[in-house]
């Protein structure tokens, strides 16, 4: 485990922000910390990256303790914060070279590294322009490039795509996948389920400073049950007749019934045949696979539940 | 994956500071507001005092010969205010976290700002003196006098820049940094910078005699106009050294405290 955190507690004044969080990340994987605003994601990341001391608990990154060996930890990690940290009045290239120099690279090495990264993040055309002229997507890319100057083993990304348009978001995702394929470990926070679903090997859901659930994406989805068929009827009377026939769940929509399903075609046939024999017309059928949204909603609305998968 | 960075010795500390100084100077060169503050403002102030107020102020000498040191110190105040603002800008943007997560000495960040501030002040002071000479300022100083003036001003600017850096660390926003710097801008008016202090009410007179700006101004004025300065030079030196020690300690302590987490 390249990141090992146990029993993290942090309070600001009387507000408990983290209330006993354990977190383990295997080298070369993507770990997503998922939660609503104010769940404690950023605080957790700041502790993991030596920027904040935990009140209780310990963190080791690549074997180094974040409090006692902060300098060593800093030499193996990099952090990209929630808000882009760039000098607007410097060019993209100057920003990168500056970081290289602060990593104690020689000037030629820092310049070479800057050029490599500019190429990799498709910023060569803009490299001699001041950053204030960059678009949102370009700024995020440069920001990520800034954290890669040092070739870190673990990269922390705090909400890497918040506020980006869909196409910039896809570009960011590709860049993150690229990093993983070169063996880098990534710990990211996000409030987008889709992002966690697409990128992460393991997800930890936190809410109110506690771990609500953690595990692989598939394991988390199976927590909220299997597939479901949603049947839509034309009139409420039909809904009642169908509900008497089938083992059904009622949702918020009075014209829709949810039927637990194993997802097979055979089950779908049987349900529709039963309804036809009983003379209940179905207007529409849709099959519903559990999404992380379901997990998210079911766990963040009842906040004392804790599931370990 | 290789790791190129190591937390290093004195050579790295110097290198880090140089990198941060380069950054801060580049940023102030490109920031139009700061540039205007350090170049146009001194010239405007100079013209204002010499041509608008100067005629009506009786100092016993030609007013321009009297007022130059005051303008220099007033501009130092404005320079310091923009230093405080740029420090706050770093502290409140994500930049400080990025810099802190690098294996560098944290003092390098403030050193960068302070050296850039001193450089800006050097520029504006040179400009003020140049413009003053064009406007009729005739200093009567030897090379040694000039060197003493330069040394004292450098010390004063350094002290004020560290003070500004400290205020920049405290301030929660760029606007409040500018408000906190108000005192540095206001003190020159309560000194012998623009008018002799003997016309002030007793209370103000006492204030002006016991604040750092009056002795610094009297010393610079004395040296430039070739009049004897007596012990006031030592008082000015003591103020500057004391202020520098306090503000350096204050700024670096605050910075460590704010960035410790």
Which pLDDT score is estimated for A238?
87
Contact list, B104 vs chain A (CB under 8 Å): 102
Chain B nearest-CA residue for A95 = B23
Confidence of residue A290 (pLDDT cuts 50, 70, 90): low
Q: Is A217 on the interface with B (CB under 8 A)?
A: no
Q: What is the DSSP string of A250-273?
A: E-SSTTEEEEE--S-HHHHHHHHH
Residues of A in contact with B85 (CB under 8 A): none
Q: What is the pLDDT of residue A186?
A: 93
Cβ(A136)–Cβ(A127) below 8 Å: no
Q: Number of Cβ pairs closer than 8 Å across A and B?
A: 101
Contact B100 A89 (CB under 8 A): no
Task: Note the pLDDT tens digit of each residue in B32-75.
Answer: 877 787 778 888 888 888 888 888 887 778 888 888 899 988 88
- Nearest C-alpha in B relative to A130: B30
pLDDT given for residue A226 in this prediction: 66
Sign of the CA dihedral A218, A219, A223, A225?
positive
Asked if residues A231 and A201 have their Cβ atoms less than 8 Å apart, the reply is no
State in Å, rounded, how far the first CA of chain A is from the last one.
18
pTM over 0.90: no
C-alpha span between A68 and A163 (Å, rounded):
35
Query: What pLDDT score does A209 carry?
Result: 86
Beta bridge partners of residue A229, listed in sequence order: A259, A287
CA distance A46 to B98: 11
Q: Is the pLDDT of residue B3 over 50?
A: no
Question: For residue B141, with 0-12 CB atoms within 10 Å meaning exposed, 13-18 middle and 19 or more buried, which class applies?
Answer: middle
- pLDDT exceeds 70 at position A33: yes
Binary contact (B99, A102; C-beta < 8 A): yes
Residues in chain A: 309
- Comparing CB atoms, the residue among A49, A98, A183 nearest residue B101 is A49
For A246, B35, B117, B118, B160, the CA distances from B123, given in Å and listed in that order, are: 85, 10, 10, 9, 16
What is the least distance, in Å, from the CA of B111 to any CA of chain A? 14
Q: Which residues in chain A have their CB less than 8 angstroms from residue B24's CB? A: none
Q: What is the average pLDDT score of chain B? A: 85
pLDDT top residue among A106 and A222: A106
Interface contact B1-A77, CB threshold 8 A: no
Range among A36-40, A230-234, B145-149 rated most confident? B145-149
CB-count exposure of residue B82 (10 Å: 0-12, 13-18, 19+):
buried
Least CB–CB distance from B101: residue in A79, A109, A151:
A79
- Name beta bridge partners: A286: A230
pLDDT at A51: 85
B234-238 mean pLDDT: 93
CB-based contact A107:B109 (threshold 8 Å): no
All residues of chain A having their beta carbon less than 8 Å from the beta carbon of residue B260 are 53
Q: Which residue of B has its CA nearest to A184?
A: B1
pLDDT of A174 higher than 90? no
- For residue B7, is pLDDT > 60? no
Give the distance from residue B244's alpha carbon to the nearest chain A alpha carbon, in angstroms. 27
Report pLDDT for B15: 87
Alpha-carbon dihedral A155, A161, A166, A171, rounded to 10 degrees: -20
The residue with greater pLDDT, B195 or A307, is B195
Q: Which residues contact A269 (CB under 8 A, 6 or more apart)?
A: none
In whole angstroms, give the CA distance from residue B12 to residue B107: 12
Q: Summarize the confidence of residues B92-105 as an average pLDDT.
A: 80
The beta strand positions in B137-201, using DSSP E, are none
Contact call for A85 and B94, based on CB within 8 A: yes
Rounded Cα–Cα distance for residues A165 and A260 (Å): 36
Of A118, A173, A184, A170, give the one whose Cα is nearest residue A146: A118
pLDDT exceeds cutoff 90 at B169: yes
Minimum Cα–Cα distance from B26: chain A residue? A90
Please report the pLDDT score of residue A61 as a whole number. 93
Q: Which residues of B touch A52 (CB under 8 A)?
A: 261
């Amino acid at each position: 485990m390249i990141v090992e955190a146990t029993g993290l507690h942090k309070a600001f004044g009387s507000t408990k922000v983290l209330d006993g969080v354990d977190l383990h990340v295997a080298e070369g994987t993507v770990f997503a910390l998922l939660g609503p605003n104010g769940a404690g994601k950023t605080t957790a990341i700041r502790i993991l990256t030596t920027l904040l001391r935990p009140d209780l608990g310990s963190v080791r990154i690549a074997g180094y303790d974040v409090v006692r060996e902060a300098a060593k930890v800093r030499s193996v990690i990099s952090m990209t914060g929630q808000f882009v940290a760039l000098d607007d009045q410097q060019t993209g290239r100057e920003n990168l070279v500056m970081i290289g120099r602060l990593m104690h690279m020689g000037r030629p090495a820092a310049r070479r590294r800057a050029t490599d990264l500019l190429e990799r993040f498709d910023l060569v055309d803009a490299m001699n322009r001041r950053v204030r002229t960059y678009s949102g997507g370009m700024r995020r890319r440069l920001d990520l490039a800034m954290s890669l100057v040092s070739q870190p083993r673990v990269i922390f990304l705090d909400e890497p795509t918040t506020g980006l348009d869909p196409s910039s978001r896809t570009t960011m995702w590709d860049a993150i996948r690229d990093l993983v394929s070169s063996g880098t470990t990534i710990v990211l926070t996000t409030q987008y389920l889709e992002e966690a679903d697409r990128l992460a090997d393991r997800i930890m859901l936190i809410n109110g400073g506690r771990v609500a659930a953690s595990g692989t994406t598939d394991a988390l989805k199976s927590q909220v049950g299997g597939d479901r068929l949603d049947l839509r009827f034309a009139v409420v009377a039909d809904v009642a007749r169908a509900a008497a026939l089938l083992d059904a769940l009622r949702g918020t929509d009075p014209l829709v019934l949810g039927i637990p399903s194993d997802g097979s075609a055979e089950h779908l046939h049987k349900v529709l045949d039963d309804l036809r024999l009983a003379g209940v017309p179905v207007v529409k059928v849709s099959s519903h696979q559990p999404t992380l949204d379901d997990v998210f909603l079911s766990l963040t609305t009842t906040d004392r539940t804790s599931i370990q998968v | 994956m290789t790791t190129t960075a190591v937390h290093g010795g004195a050579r790295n500390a110097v290198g880090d500071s140089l990198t941060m100084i380069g950054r801060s100077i580049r940023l102030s060169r490109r920031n139009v507001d700061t540039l205007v503050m350090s170049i146009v403002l001194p010239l405007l102030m100079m013209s204002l005092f010499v041509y608008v107020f100067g005629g009506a102020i009786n100092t016993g000498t030609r007013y321009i010969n009297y007022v130059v040191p005051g303008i220099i110190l007033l501009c130092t105040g404005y320079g310091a205010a923009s230093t405080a603002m740029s420090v706050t800008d770093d502290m409140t943007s994500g930049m400080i976290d990025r810099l802190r997560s690098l294996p560098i000495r944290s003092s390098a960040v403030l050193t960068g700002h302070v050296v850039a501030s001193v450089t800006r002040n050097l520029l504006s002071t040179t400009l003020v003196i140049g413009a003053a000479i064009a406007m009729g300022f005739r200093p009567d100083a030897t090379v040694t006098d000039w060197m003493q003036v330069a040394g004292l001003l450098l010390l004063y600017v350094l002290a004020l820049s560290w003070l500004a850096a400290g205020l920049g660390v405290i301030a929660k926003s760029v606007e409040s940094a500018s408000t906190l710097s108000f005192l540095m801008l206001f003190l020159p008016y309560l000194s012998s910078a623009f008018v002799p202090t003997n016309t002030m009410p007793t209370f103000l007179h006492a204030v002006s005699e016991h604040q750092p700006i009056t002795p610094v101004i009297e010393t610079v004025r004395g040296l430039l106009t070739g009049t004897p300065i007596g012990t006031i030079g030592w008082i000015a030196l003591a103020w500057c050294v004391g202020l520098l020690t306090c503000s350096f300690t204050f700024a670096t302590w605050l910075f460590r405290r704010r960035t410790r987490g």
